């Protein structure tokens, strides 16, 4: 283990370390703590310049319910869920199939296709912007939930396939081999042997894609117009324009936008980190 | 006797073909989606960059005119320069992430909780990070202003200062990026070989020497991924710029990704051809890094 375990040091240093930890954490999260405190302040506090002191009143429920009353935050949040969940399901299933094919079969196109999926994941969004927007307009998918779902699912398929292929490749090939010798069809091998084994990978991918898509802002700007199908990220931005001097409301809305991925992360932390670091460990 | 052989052979051919066609059944849906939404649009964009087009009327073929115009466009150069600054400074996330990972790589009560809280900024949308920092930098009531005042200094309006604005945005962008690199290194550190460490320790290595000669070489995969995701993140920077300054003041904080959006879709005009030319330039810059990544991946595959 590196650095040297703290237990090996004299008590004095252990104590310093344990005191330093929360201290450093508070500095690290200071912007977040500040925005939380702002979100429970009264408007009077902000107007009189009490922005960093202790709030004169805690208006947690009042401020947050005011955000929901005065803005379309609920609609935005609902849209975010309607965009994110189907995207996760679609891209993970497509990638599960494709990753299986690229990991198990030896054929000439296997590596080139794999590289195309990987490369696609890294390209700048702007190179896709005009054609994708154009196509969405001409097919009636512009300014709809499904238009956003289809794009995100297609784009995330690149990363997901990369991920699934590497995961399946690491499984013992004998399992598939023995299925083939028994005369089990390829589809059944996939369904009954591979899918149960990749469950941890599916969970990891699902949380990652949920976070990526939930936090998307660019495509929400490019593929929507007006309020009806906007996700919360774009919604928070337009609230920021409307409530110029209502920082307590803007910060409350921002925190609402941040909560679902944060909850997701805490619930599935192990999977999330495993997903993020897959590939980095094996490379 | 002969019949059995031919029967066997038939079966063999069938099962061989089965293995030839099977991958395509599994691949088809993913390829279809990826082709429609990713691969074909890349070519279309490059194609559009040779036209002058407002998105509504007839597109007019102009050849390389858009690219020639770029050469004289001072906003383009500003954006390019800013992208370069982003790239260099954003890479600070890698050593800082390593530093925090080393700080947190201990076994004390509640350390897992600390690790996940340190990771927090990465999970939050960049829109929210951008808003938090716009407010942090606000010269009238921002946290930074009050820190300045407490030292008796005049607060600086970082986001309206042409010389400082890009650095201000990058600083904000570093916050989640450091968290990302940190988590990659934490996982790497948990896989560092104990035997090698022990052997090095017996040879008298410790502290920085140990880090440099024994630990870092084993963390190379984590470093590689950290650098790749940081470079790509720097070149993709859009959200933060859009939220914090919209490229201003006077285009001084623009980056290629945002400048492209601005030329093609904002109230500053619908020049889709010109926007596509900017996107194409950005694409080719990124292709250098993507190519390098794929080459590393390829070498890796060959070794297996």
| Statement: residue B3 has pLDDT above 50 | no
From chain A residues 57-96, the ones with a CB under 8 A of any chain B CB are: 94-95
The residue segments making up the domain with residue A143 are 72-277
Of B277, B73, B86, nearest to B166 (Cα)?
B86
B232, B140, B5, B195: which is closest to A52 by C-alpha? Answer: B140
Instruction: Clarify whether residues A88 and A202 are in a common domain.
Output: yes
Does A45 fall in a domain?
Answer: yes
- CA distance linking residue B29 with residue B12, whole number of Å: 28
Residue B244 burial class via C-beta count within 10 angstroms: exposed 0-12, middle 13-18, buried 19 and up: buried
Residues A122 and A34 in one domain: no
The answer to whether residue B79 neighbours chain A at the CB level (below 8 Å) is: no
**In contact, A106 and A169? CB cutoff 8 Å:** no
Q: What is the pLDDT of residue B297?
A: 87
A85 belongs to a structural domain = yes
**A283 part of a folded domain:** no
Question: In this predicted structure, what is the pLDDT of residue B288?
Answer: 93
Chain B hits for A31, CB-CB cut-off 8 Å, are 132-133, 136, 143, 175
pLDDT score recorded for residue A283: 34
Question: To which H or E segment does residue A118 belong?
Answer: helix A110-122
Going by C-beta distance under 8 Å and a sequence separation of 6 or more, which residues neighbour residue B238?
A125, A126, A217, A218, B255, B257, B258, B261
Total number of domains in chain A? 2
- Separation of alpha carbons A157 and B34, rounded Å: 7
In 3D space, the residue among B304, B263, B286 whose CA is nearest the CA of residue B66 turns out to be: B263
Q: Residue-wise over B51-78: b if at least 16 C-beta within 10 A, else e?
A: bbbebeeebeebeebbbebbeebebbeb
Which residue of B48, B125, B222 is in closest CB contact with A257? Answer: B125
Residue (of B183, B116, B19) closest to A261 by Cα position: B116
Question: Does residue A37 lie within any of the structural domains?
Answer: yes
- pLDDT in single tens digits along all 283 residues of chain A: 778 788 888 888 888 998 999 999 999 998 888 888 888 887 777 766 666 667 777 778 888 888 888 888 899 999 999 999 999 999 999 999 999 999 988 888 999 999 999 999 899 999 999 999 999 999 999 999 999 999 999 999 999 999 999 899 888 888 888 888 888 888 899 999 999 999 988 988 999 999 999 999 999 999 998 889 999 999 988 888 777 667 788 888 899 999 999 999 888 888 888 777 764 444 3
Rounded alpha-carbon distances, angstroms, from residue A183 to A177, A186, A193, B101: 10, 9, 13, 50
Of A130, A186, A265, the CB nearest to B123: A265
**Residue A125 and residue A42 in one domain:** no
Contact A1 B125 (CB under 8 A): no
Q: Are both A42 and A101 inside the same structural domain? A: no
Residues A46 and A118 in one domain: no
Q: Is the pLDDT of residue B274 over 60?
A: yes
Contact (CB, 8 A) for A127 and B282: yes
How many beta carbons lie within 10 A of that of residue B194, not counting itself?
Answer: 9
Q: Are residues A94 and A163 in the same domain?
A: yes
Quick one: A221 and A109 in the same domain? yes
- Asked if residue A282 belongs to a domain, the reply is no
Pairs of CB atoms within 8 A across A/B: 300
- Distance from C-alpha of A110 to C-alpha of B245, rounded to nearest angstrom: 44
DSSP A4: P
Q: What are the residue boundaries of the structural domains of chain B, listed by start?
A: 2-48, 72-303
Could you tell me if B240 lies within 8 Å of chain A, comparing CB atoms?
no
Q: What is the pLDDT of residue B145?
A: 82
- Tell whether A141 and A266 lie within a shared domain: yes
- Phi then psi for residue B45, to 5 deg, are -60, -45
Which of B15, B19, B23 to substitute to test the interface with A, most A CBs within 10 Å?
Answer: B23
Whether A158 contacts chain B with CB within 8 A: yes
Specify the pLDDT at position B2. Answer: 45
Query: B48: exposed, middle or buried (C-beta count within 10 Å: 0-12, 13-18, 19+)?
Result: buried
Has residue A197 been placed in a domain? Answer: yes
B:193-212 residues touching chain A, CB 8 A cutoff: 194, 197, 206, 210-211
- Is B51's Cβ below 8 Å from some Cβ in A? no
Regarding whether A38 and A115 lie in a shared domain, the answer is no
pLDDT over threshold 80, residue B268: no
Rounded average pLDDT over B81-107: 95
Tell which of A34, A38, A126 to mutate to test the B interface (max B CBs under 10 Å).
Answer: A126
Comparing C-alpha atoms, which of A269, A151, A144, A137 is closest to residue A218?
A151
Both A245 and A123 in one domain: the answer is: yes
Look up residue A24 and give its two tokens.
Answer: 């450093």
pLDDT of residue A47: 67
Q: A135 and A56: one domain? A: no
In a domain, A1, yes or no: no
**What does the pLDDT read at residue A282?**
41
CATH number at residue A179: 1.10.3720.10
Q: Are residues A62 and A191 in the same domain?
A: no
Say what the pLDDT of residue B149 is: 83
Buried b (16+ CB within 10 A) or exposed e, B128-156: bbbbbbbbbbbbebbbbbeeeeeeeeebe
DSSP H stretches of helix in chain B: 2-34, 40-48, 65-71, 74-90, 93-104, 111-123, 126-137, 143-150, 165-190, 194-202, 207-210, 216-218, 220-236, 239-244, 256-265, 272-303
DSSP per position, B19-81: HHHHHHHHHHHHHHHHIIIIIHHHHHHHHHTTEE--SSS--EE-TTHHHHHHHT-HHHHHHHH
CATH of domain B72-303: 1.10.3720.10
CA–CA gap between residue A56 and residue A43 (Å, rounded)? 10
Q: Which of B26, B34, B294 is facing A101, going by the closest CB pair?
A: B26
């Amino acid at each position: 283990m590196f650095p040297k375990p703290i237990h090996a040091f004299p008590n004095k240093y252990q104590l310093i370390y344990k005191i330093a930890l929360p201290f450093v954490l508070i500095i690290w999260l200071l912007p977040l703590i500040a925005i939380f405190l702002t979100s429970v302040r009264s408007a009077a506090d902000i107007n009189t310049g009490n922005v960093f002191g202790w709030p004169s009143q805690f208006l947690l429920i009042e401020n947050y319910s005011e955000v929901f009353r005065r803005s379309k935050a609920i609609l935005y949040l609902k849209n975010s869920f309607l965009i994110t969940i189907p995207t996760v399901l679609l891209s993970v299933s497509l990638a599960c199939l494709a990753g299986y094919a690229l990991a198990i079969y030896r054929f000439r196109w296997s590596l080139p296709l794999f590289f195309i999926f990987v490369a696609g994941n890294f390209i700048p969004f702007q190179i896709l912007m005009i054609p994708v927007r154009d196509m969405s307009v001409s097919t009636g998918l512009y300014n709809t939930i499904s238009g956003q779902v289809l794009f995100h699912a297609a784009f995330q398929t690149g990363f997901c396939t990369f991920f699934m292929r590497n995961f399946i490749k690491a499984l013992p090939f004998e399992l598939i081999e023995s299925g083939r010798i028994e005369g089990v069809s390829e589809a059944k091998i996939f369904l009954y042997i591979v899918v149960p084994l990749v469950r941890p990978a599916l969970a990891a991918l699902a949380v990652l894609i949920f976070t990526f898509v939930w936090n998307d802002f660019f495509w929400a700007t490019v593929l929507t117009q007006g309020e009806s199908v906007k996700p919360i990220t774009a919604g928070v931005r337009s609230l920021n324009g409307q409530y110029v001097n209502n920082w307590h409301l803007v910060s409350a809305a921002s925190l609402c936008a941040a909560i679902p991925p944060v909850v997701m992360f805490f619930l599935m932390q192990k999977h999330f980190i495993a997903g993020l670091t897959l590939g980095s460990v094996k490379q | 006797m002969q019949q059995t052989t031919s029967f066997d052979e038939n079966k063999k051919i069938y099962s061989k073909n089965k293995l030839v066609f099977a991958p395509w059944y599994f691949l088809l849906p993913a390829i279809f989606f990826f082709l429609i939404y990713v691969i074909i649009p890349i070519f279309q964009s490059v194609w559009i960059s040779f036209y002058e087009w407002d998105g509504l009327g007839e597109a007019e073929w102009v050849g390389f005119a858009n690219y020639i115009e770029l050469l004289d466009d001072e906003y383009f150069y500003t954006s390019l320069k800013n992208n370069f600054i982003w790239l260099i400074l954003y890479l600070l996330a890698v050593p800082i992430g390593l530093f925090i990972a080393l700080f947190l790589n201990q076994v004390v009560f509640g350390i897992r909780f600390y690790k996940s809280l340190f990771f927090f900024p990465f999970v939050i949308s960049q829109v929210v990070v951008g808003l938090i920092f716009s407010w942090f930098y606000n010269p009238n009531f921002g946290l930074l202003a009050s820190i300045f005042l407490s030292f008796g200094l005049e607060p600086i309006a970082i986001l309206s200062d042409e010389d400082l604005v890009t650095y201000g945005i990058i600083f904000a962008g570093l916050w989640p990026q450091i968290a990302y690199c940190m988590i990659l290194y934490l996982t790497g550190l948990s896989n560092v070989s104990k035997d090698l460490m022990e052997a090095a320790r017996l040879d008298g290595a410790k502290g920085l020497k140990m880090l440099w000669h024994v630990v870092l070489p084993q963390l190379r995969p984590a470093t590689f991924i950290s650098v790749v995701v940081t470079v790509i993140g720097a070149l993709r920077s859009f959200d933060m710029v859009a939220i914090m300054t919209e490229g201003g003041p006077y285009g001084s904080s623009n980056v290629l990704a945002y400048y492209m959006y601005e030329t093609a879709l904002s109230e500053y005009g619908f020049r889709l051809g010109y926007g596509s030319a900017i996107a194409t330039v950005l694409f080719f810059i990124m292709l250098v890094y993507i190519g390098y990544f794929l080459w590393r991946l390829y070498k890796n595959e060959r070794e297996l």
